Amino acid sequence: MTEPFISRGFRGRGRHGATAARLPPGQYETPDFPVLSAGPTPRTPVATWDFLLRGADGPAARWTWDEFQALPHETVNTDIHCVTKWSKLDTIWEGVSLDTLLAEAAARGVKSAPYVLAVSDGGYTTNLPLADVAGGRAWVAVKYQGVPLTPEHGGPARLLVPHLYFWKSAKWVRQLRFMEHDTAGFWESFGYHNYGDPWREQRYSGDA
Amino acid sequence: MSSGTAATREPGSATVRSAAIAWRLATVVDVVTETPRARTLVLDVPGWPGHRAGQHVDVRLTAEDGYQAERSYSIASAPEDARIALTVQRLDDGEVSPYLSDVLRGGDRLELRGPIGGYFVWGVALGGPLFLVAGGSGIVPLMAMLRHRAAALTANGDARHGVPARLLYSSRRWEDVFYRAELARLAEDDGTLEVALALTHEAPPGWTGFRRLIDGRMLAEVAWPPAERPKVFVCGPTPLVEAVATALVELGHDPALVKTERFGPTGGSRSAA
């Protein structure tokens, strides 16, 4: 459509807020924390939880919950943007930077690759370029607003990649697999965009 | 890619680019009042590529100064219908639903794109038995499935051999139940469809349906036994969907067969339908 279609009598209200500039196109701010997941919520006790960074050729670095908790944690204040249109500003998370995990894995001889696939309890997956989980832009988060993550928000641990739409921040994450070739994850196979930059409004497959 | 015209790929397949889902200008051809707070917009959408039951569209409103707001709405109509129906529940503090509820009228145009979503979908080819659980306006994508199922039955000319289906649908009050007359008619005409209603806040005199929030006991009573491996679709407010999906897994249903669609915030009490 070349000419924007004007909706008769629509005024809207989201443009004047102090935070409007922080909202990507098509998003609205919510004070709530909605949930989007495709099935029942998995509940994994921390006693059996572990986290794996698996090399493209097999060997993996593994952390138990206690080992993971012993790694340096960071506090992250960030805005998050869900493809279902809501954004939540100034959310506060605590977790381990992927840079820390990547460096540890490299030191243990795990072979890197240009892409990663996050794999979660319940079978959820999502794919990301390695570059997007490195350089201080991604974490494995274990707390939200100072409190351990509840199962419905992805606890005990979820990925946090706030510069991409929030389905990339996989809940219940247990593994990152290095991939030589980019392979579609769960929503990426059901019509959602492969990369998912909210500022370019890459919601669905084929969006620019 | 998730549309009726393009194939969905398996997770793990190589990534590919496909054509963008285009914005289209629909025309409102009819408006149907469903409940005091919900109405159905019947839309003529030129070039509509077709959809599967359970999919949704994105609606985009543009103000004179260029300000835009987008929201997602589930499609209520069957893929077999020539027109697209969206049932919109009015949220008093909403930005888009009051416009769709109060301002938009027959003959107006509306920008939308879709269909979107390839997971929370069902078609008769997927078989059954089918168990649908809805809370409030969560009935909308499930209604598309029931309408699709009914259309397939009509095409077969045999209402006794449809995919067996059961719907458990929770609303606050009788007047909040979407598609009441149509659901009653579908269940009456079709020996393989059962509809159970639960009212959580208030029931009319002589009410014989459930009169409480959906719980494990109710699900055990209404759902197909786990051994029959029903295909389950649950749609509604987050607390309802969380409670229902958790209870179904506890009853022994395979989590992989329980597909959910949630809306609204978490937490709080399950006071809503």
Residue B226 has pLDDT above 60, yes or no: yes
Q: A50: number of CA atoms within 13 Å, CB side?
A: 9
pLDDT tens profile A32-68: 777 778 899 999 999 999 999 999 887 999 999 999 9
CATH assignment of the domain containing B81: 2.40.30.10
B92 found inside a domain: yes
In B, which residues are within 8 Å of A205 by CB distance?
1-2, 17-18, 21
CB contact under 8 A, A33 and B238: no
> Residue B1's pLDDT is what?
33
- Whether A18 has its CB under 8 Å from any CB of chain B: the answer is no
Domain boundary among the residues B66, B86, B116 is at: B116
DSSP letters for chain B: --SSSSPPPPTTSBP-------EEEEEEEEEEEEETTEEEEEEE-TT-----TT-EEEEEEE-TTS-EEEEEEEB-S-TTSSSEEEEEEPPTT-SSHHIIIII--TT-EEEEEEEE-SSS---GGG---EEEEEEGGGHHHHHHHHHHHHHHHHHHT-TTSSPPEEEEEEESSGGG-TTHHHHHHHHHH-TTEEEEEEESS---TT--SB-S---HHHHHHHSPPGGG--EEEEEEEHHHHHHHHHHHHHTT--GGGEEEEEESB--S-TT--
Among A12, A32, A188, select the one facing B61 at the smallest CB separation.
A12
Q: What angle do CA A28, B20, A5 make, to 5 degrees?
A: 55
Query: Quick one: B145 and B222 in the same domain?
Result: yes
- Whether B82 has its CB under 8 Å from any CB of chain A: the answer is no
Among B23, B65, B246, select the one facing A40 at the smallest CB separation.
B246
User: What's the average model confidence in pLDDT over B215-223?
Assistant: 98
If one counts the domains in chain B, the total is: 2
Residue B271 has pLDDT above 50, yes or no: no
B196 found inside a domain: yes
B8 found inside a domain: no
In B, which residues are within 8 Å of A13 by CB distance?
95
- Whether B208 has its CB under 8 Å from any CB of chain A: the answer is no
pLDDT tens profile A191-204: 999 999 999 999 99
- Whether B19 has its CB under 8 Å from any CB of chain A: the answer is yes
pLDDT tens profile B142-172: 999 999 999 998 777 665 568 999 999 999 9
> Residue B7's pLDDT is what?
43
Query: Quick one: B68 and B133 in the same domain?
Result: no
Show the domain range for B91: 23-116
Query: Quick one: B128 and B110 in the same domain?
Result: no
Tokens 């929503």 sit on residue: A187
Query: Quick one: B188 and B154 in the same domain?
Result: yes
Contact by Cβ (8 Å): B31, B38: no
User: What's the average model confidence in pLDDT over B40-62?
Assistant: 97
pLDDT greater at residue B98 or residue B266: B98
Closest CA to B77 of B56, B100, B47, B104: B56
A 36-55 residues inside an 8 A Cβ radius of B: 36-42
Query: Quick one: B134 and B107 in the same domain?
Result: no
Query: Quick one: B230 and B142 in the same domain?
Result: yes
CB contact under 8 A, B63 and A6: yes
> Residue B213's pLDDT is what?
97
Q: Residue B273 and residue B263: Cα distance in Å, rounded?
A: 12
What chain A holds in terms of domains, given with CATH numbers, is: 26-31+47-200 (3.90.420.10)
Residue A207 has pLDDT above 80, yes or no: yes
- Whether A9 has its CB under 8 Å from any CB of chain B: the answer is yes
> What pTM was estimated for this model as a whole?
0.92
Query: Quick one: B111 and B135 in the same domain?
Result: no
Nearest residue in chain B measured CA to CA from A188:
B11
Using DSSP's 3-state secondary structure scheme, residue A92 falls into: strand
CATH assignment of the domain containing B175: 3.40.50.80
Q: Phi first, then psi: what are they for A136, rounded to 5°?
A: 75, 25
Query: Quick one: B251 and B147 in the same domain?
Result: yes
A 154-193 residues inside an 8 A Cβ radius of B: 181-191
Query: Quick one: B162 and B72 in the same domain?
Result: no
pLDDT tens profile B14-37: 776 678 999 999 999 999 999 999
ipTM of the complex: 0.90
pLDDT tens profile A129-183: 999 999 999 999 999 999 999 998 999 999 999 999 999 999 999 999 999 999 9
Q: B203 to each of B187, B200, B214, how far by Cα in Å? A: 21, 8, 15
Query: Quick one: B169 and B259 in the same domain?
Result: yes
Q: Specify which of A1-5, A125-129, B149-153 reaches the highest per-range mean pLDDT.
A: A125-129
pLDDT tens profile B159-208: 556 899 999 999 999 999 999 999 999 999 888 999 999 999 999 999 99
Structure tokens at B13: 């397949």
Q: How far is B158 from chain A (nearest CA, A)?
A: 33
